[in-house]
Chains A and B, each alone.
Chain A
Amino acid sequence: MKKYLAVALGILTAIGGFVDIGDLVTNAQVGARFGLSLAWVVAIGVLGICVFAEMSGRVAAVSGRATFDLVRERLGPRVGMLNLVASMLITFLTFVAEIGGVALSLQLVASVHLLLIVPFVGLAVWVLLWRAKFSAIENVLGLLGLALVVFAVGLWQLGPDWGALAQQAATADKPGDEHWRTFAYYAVALFGAAMTPYEVFFFSSGGVEERWTAEDISTMRANVLVGFPLGGLLSLAIAGSAWVVLGPLQISVDSLGQVGLPVAAALGKVGLAVAILGFVAATFGAACETGLSVGYSIAQYFGRQWGKYVRPKEAVGFHVVLVLATLAATAFLMTAVDPIMVTEVSVVFSAVALPLTYFPILVVANDRDYMGEHVNGRLANGLGSIYLVVICVAAVAALPLMIWTRMGQ
């Protein structure tokens, strides 16, 4: 019974924790412009994050070692350091975007200037990272993130032409007035939003923190293979409701307030309040996960003590990194940079950085010396190899498309 409850809780938190500021903004932008014609990218991205997270979770459970511990060992200190720097820059950018996302969400109810909210959010994130238990961060914020189901309820309430939506999704039927290059740019951005590297750093490090063993692999698989796809359905609901309400009005999404308008149109003030709760929980949870990912990865690379289950005085380096990362992210936002712009950039660069951590994990998951009987099977290897190609194509295409389309214009 206890195991079933753990699986249910894991699945629910995986659903609620799947969506972050990148998913909220990118799915609403794509939905308003392209409807569900890019739904196939969400499907590919969700399957990709399942493959990546399953492999890294299995590696963590069997070897007891997290991503950057292995990256350094497999790639050597120099290449490992390059990998760390590049991956941490992207994760830090995502951390900035998530803290900005929390501030934007709170601004929707407080209606005060963003720069007055950002320092409090930075402080709250740091206090949570320092004091709160790992399970509290993961479970409470993950469960509250389920409030975003309101987008699915809103879409149903709007009563769209389901046949037309299904046809649009099935045929990738792009609106006629959109260029193919813009379509391709948003495909890469959606892929980057669904397959953000920090999700895997956090997931595998969390596995090591919670001392997963080979016996936990089945629970981990259930969380990943059920929770993430259901989280992907939330992403599609955000895109679908944006298409139904914002699409006909030719509204392009560039603020979080616009993301919530379809829910308001469908369900009124109560629905909107639930959506804002979901925004806060999803971005707060992701801010904690990205902040921890920065600390985890750097401490793992340098072989220092790390983790939420270790007393702060025994993991000083880890906690110093958390403090510095939070201060730096807050200071970055205090320059009045637009958090939505940071989000748009971070999802594209996530696609660029993905091969850096995906490839070493794929190699280790194939290494019988590490994995023993839990080494990749034919299916995991086949999917892993296909996704290596997909990830490399997205990484190579991301920057040229970003420049060519002037970030999707």
Chain B
Amino acid sequence: MLAGLGTALVVILVAACAPQSPDHSSWTDQAHQALEDTASQVATVSLLLRLEREGKVPGKYQQVVAQDSESAVGATMAKFGGEQPEPRDDTTYRRVTGLMSDASDLLSEVRIAIVRRDAAAYPKLLDRLGDVENRLNAAAEDLR
């Protein structure tokens, strides 16, 4: 009885430590969701910079929104990175994680510029945000 319980406990612990291994369809759904979530955060920061250009958002508020978006993308990357892809999904995995990494780096750059009140950098950052958002949306569309 005790041995059985012990075995069950070990199995549960090992299963909890191992990466999640969804099937192809489920993994693809999660990749699609991760891309959409990341695109949403990029679009949020893009809207924020446009509103800043019109003088509609105070600096501290900008910082919080930009920081929240950066953290949210980090959390999405960590969650998706814990999902084990099947070998046939390796190419998609590289594309999705690469895009999310690009988005994360860009959001960090935007946050740094906002904290420094580096308004001269905003137009270029806005262009790059638009480009990353388009790539994220295109990749998400490909996974439908």
Contact = CB atoms under 8 A, between A and B. Distances in A.
Given A254-B72, A261-B44, A264-B51, A108 B61 contact: yes
Given A250-B39, A265-B51, A272 B65 contact: no
A261 B65 contact: yes
Nearest to B115: A111
Contacts of A254: 72
State the main secondary structure of chain B at its contact with A.
Answer: helix
Contacts of A272: 56-58, 61
Nearest to B50: A265
State the main secondary structure of chain A at its contact with B.
Answer: helix
A249 B134 CA distance: 11
B92 interface: no
B56 A251 contact: no
Given A107-B64, A257-B64, A251 B72 contact: no
Interface residues of A, number: 25
A342 to B, nearest CB: 15
Contact of A250 (B40, B55, B69, B72): B40
Interface residues of B, number: 25
Given A257-B64, A257-B68, A261-B47, A252 B57 contact: no
B57 A269 contact: yes
A268 interface: yes
B117 to A, nearest CB: 13
A111 B60 contact: yes
B47 A255 contact: no
Interface in A195-253: 245-246, 249-252
Contacts of A327: none
Contacts of B57: 261, 264, 269, 272
B63 interface: yes
Contact of B51 (A108, A261, A273): A261
A409 interface: yes
A257 B46 CA distance: 14
B18 to A, nearest CB: 20
A250 B55 CA distance: 23
A265 B55 CA distance: 10
Contact of B61 (A109, A245, A252, A409): A109
A108 B40 CA distance: 20
A16 B46 CA distance: 32
Contacts of A268: 54-56
Contacts of A265: 47, 51, 56
A257 B48 CA distance: 10
Which of A108, A110, A245, A257 gathers the greatest number of chain B CB atoms within 10 Å? Answer: A257
A260 interface: yes
Given A269-B56, A272-B56, A249 B47 contact: yes
B43 A250 contact: yes
Nearest to A261: B47
Given A258-B65, A264-B61, A409-B33, 12 more contacts: A108-B64, A249-B46, A250-B43, A255-B69, A261-B44, A261-B47, A264-B51, A265-B47, A265-B51, A265-B56, A272-B56, A272-B58
7 contacts: A252-B36, A255-B68, A255-B72, A261-B47, A264-B57, A268-B55, A269-B57
